[in-house]
Amino acid sequence: MDKRYQDKVVMITGAASGFGALAAEMFAAEGAKLGLSDVNGAQLAEVADALRAKGVEVVSDVVDVSDEAQVAAHVGRIAETFGTVNVGINNAGIGHDVKPLQFLSTDDFDLMMNVNAKGVFLCMKYQIPLMQQHGSGAILNVASAAGLVGSGHLSLYAAAKHAVVGITKAAADENAKRGIRVNTLCPSFSATPMVDEMAVQVGGKAGLSREQAFTHIASRVPMGRVSAPEEVVQAMLWICAPENSFMTGQAIAIDGGLTAV
């Protein structure tokens, strides 16, 4: 059977762990060449080296996505090595402490916006011209269910993820006639390091164990559980696939029904 991403160049930010690391593995299994980045150089090297050992072609760089020079250099190196970027998975993101808005700082605000929103903007700024040269491309910005609804005690994270949804729709409108599709993925709670950290915080404040905190978090989801990361990354593969050629400007919730109620 033909592989959907055979010889396609897929750029993935936040590739050292969580959705990004799994996406690197699953896109590679579909034949992709990879451009990977993260701020965590040691973990990124582990991911990249494991893929290279399987014969996957990988360009990897330590990149802070809020730094324009670093993003431009990374995209340039991918293009120099592979010729272009066919798919951009703009996944890098961070959370903040779970607490009411009035207890957060302006530094918290700046950090959320710089990494989660500005980072997506910068990646698209340098991905889109390459895609325009070839008349095709697919970009998937990873937001969150918190980018679709209010998310108490995660106000700044939610604000930044709402910004990701908005800039995605604008970029989709601008590029629809150029053969470039731009969508955003909005997962809810998943078994990733970010949610694990949240469970530890929630549990610590409520006197719950990590396992009890996960049960509490899962109880907020109509399906009664958090997602497996594979469920989210399978959606990435489908959204960016060539056969999904008429979807653009959409915010797709993979959330167990959380945003339906």
Distance CA 151, CA 145 (A): 9
Tokens 């710089």 found at: 114
Are 32 and 9 spatial neighbours (Cβ–Cβ below 8 Å)? yes
Please indicate whether residue 126 is annotated as part of the active site. no
Q: Which CATH number fits domain 9-188+228-255: 3.40.50.1000, 3.30.450.20, 3.40.50.720, 1.10.15.40?
A: 3.40.50.720
Confidence (pLDDT) at 203: 60
pLDDT above 90 for 11: yes
- The one catalytic residue in 157, 158, 195, 202 is 157
Beta strands in 82-150 (DSSP E): 87-90, 137-142
Distance CA 122, CA 72 (A): 8
Give 261's pLDDT tier (boundaries 50, 70, 90).
Answer: confident
Confidence (pLDDT) at 199: 65
Confidence (pLDDT) at 206: 63
Amino acid at site 126: Y
> What is the 8-class DSSP label of residue 225?
S
Helix axes 210-218, 193-206, angle to 10 degrees: 100
Give 189's pLDDT tier (boundaries 50, 70, 90).
Answer: confident
Q: Where in the chain is CATH 3.40.50.720?
A: 9-188+228-255
**Chain centroid, CA 51 distance in Å:** 19
Look at residues 126, 125, 130, 139 and name the one whose alpha carbon lies nearest to residue 250: 139
pLDDT above 80 for 223: yes
